Amino acid sequence: MPADTDVFIVGGGPAGLAAALAARQNGFEVVVADRAHPPIDKACGEGLMPDGVAALRRMGVELGCWQGLPFRGIRFVDNELEAEAWFPHHGGLGIRRTLLHQALVERAEHAGVVTYWQTPVDAIDPCGVTVGGQTVRCRWIIGADGIHSRVRQWAGLRQVWSGVRRMGLRQHFRVRPWTDLVEVFWHKGAQAYVTPVGPEEVCVALIGSAEKAPGADMAALFPQLADRLGRAEPMGSQRGAISISTKLAAVTRGRIALIGDASGSVDAVTGDGLALAFHQATSLGAALAAGDLTSYETSHRRIVRMPRVMERLLLLMDGSDGFRRRALRAVAARPTTFSRLLAVHVGALRPWEASFDVFDFALRLLASRTVIRPSI
């Protein structure tokens, strides 16, 4: 460990490594420490949204077909109801979490980031961070240590809100992907989403309540998915993780900034956690360069605003069969509305540019709810 550095990043997951790259691009000396060994795996749907792919490219991380499989949109499936939409310009990428991590590590180390693995950070103090009894002095401390962030606690940056706690389980299957869309299969209180991640491999993430998800009978909840998977062989072991939506009053204090899940998270069903972290990294890099974290605080709020709106809509669909089916009928009847809402979700359209579509969607929802009673 060096005695000092400009930026010390606690956590070398996707958010920490993206923050490291952004800081290096702005000329800082950067140290990253993570308690795990790379490539780090994690339960994840493994779908990287198009804006996340683009944000990584701007940081010099080129992900290609040799690492994953592009997908061109999203399909929602609820028994007989189906609705799909394509991304407006570029597709997303289905990529195994370990391959994404490996690509980020290689790029970061190539860019001059100093990495320490199997190295837990024990504390922060007024001079810097404490690692294995040694203090590393630094100008900036970045907490990229995930949903249970200790840096957040040490800095006194408390969560002011948390949503429903759900459980996510991930399993890979050896099967040729049957579509180039990410498919989300819906059931009340649970979703399974399928991301093509290789020519002979799909990733299935099941998300549901902590009671429902672990013992869930996939075939009973999602018969169409069970048909698709047929006798496909599970690959590797199943992994689980908590999916929870959390909000903080502030993500910076003094010279400390939080990023990624440590700075507040959105439910996994949005498929947006990674892209959010990569956007946050870009704006954090600019704030570090300016020597003032105020702009990061503001842009962090802006970056998470729209995903939170989408999350609310998706969780409403999770909680009510009636609402979900009306919503699916509404977007199936007018695919352009779905495409434009998806374009807003990935930042290709500004929300006001889709205001007519939101209005149209709301009208259709209301219309499908109206029961016309015969007059007596």
Ligand X SMILES: Cc1cc2nc3c(=O)[nH]c(=O)nc-3n(C[C@H](O)[C@H](O)[C@H](O)COP(=O)(O)OP(=O)(O)OC[C@H]3O[C@@H](n4cnc5c(N)ncnc54)[C@H](O)[C@@H]3O)c2cc1C
Say if CB 114 and CB 32 are below 8 A apart.
yes
Nearer to ligand X, 120 or 332 (CB): 120
Q: Is 247 exposed, middle or buried (0-12, 13-18, 19+ CB in 10 A)?
A: middle
Displacement of CA 297 from its chain's centroid (Å): 19
CB of 166 to ligand X, least distance (A): 8
Phi-psi label, residue 55: left if phi above 0, alpha if psi -120 to 50, beta otherwise: alpha
CA dist 15 to 51, 281, 366, Å?
Answer: 15, 7, 40
Nearer to ligand X, 167 or 293 (CB): 167
Token pair of 345 as six digits: 């979700």
Say if CB 57 and CB 308 are below 8 A apart.
no
Token pair of 284 as six digits: 């954090």
Interacting residues with ligand X (CB under 6 A): 10-16, 33-36, 40, 42-48, 120-121, 144-146, 150, 168, 170, 205, 207, 241, 243, 260-262, 268, 271-275, 277
* Residue position matching structure tokens 């649970």: 190
CB of 347 to ligand X, least distance (A): 13
Nearer to ligand X, 53 or 330 (CB): 53
CB of 182 to ligand X, least distance (A): 8
Nearer to ligand X, 251 or 330 (CB): 251
Nearer to ligand X, 15 or 105 (CB): 15
CA dist 114 to 5, 33, 34, 40, Å?
Answer: 10, 9, 11, 17
CB of 292 to ligand X, least distance (A): 23
CB of 298 to ligand X, least distance (A): 20
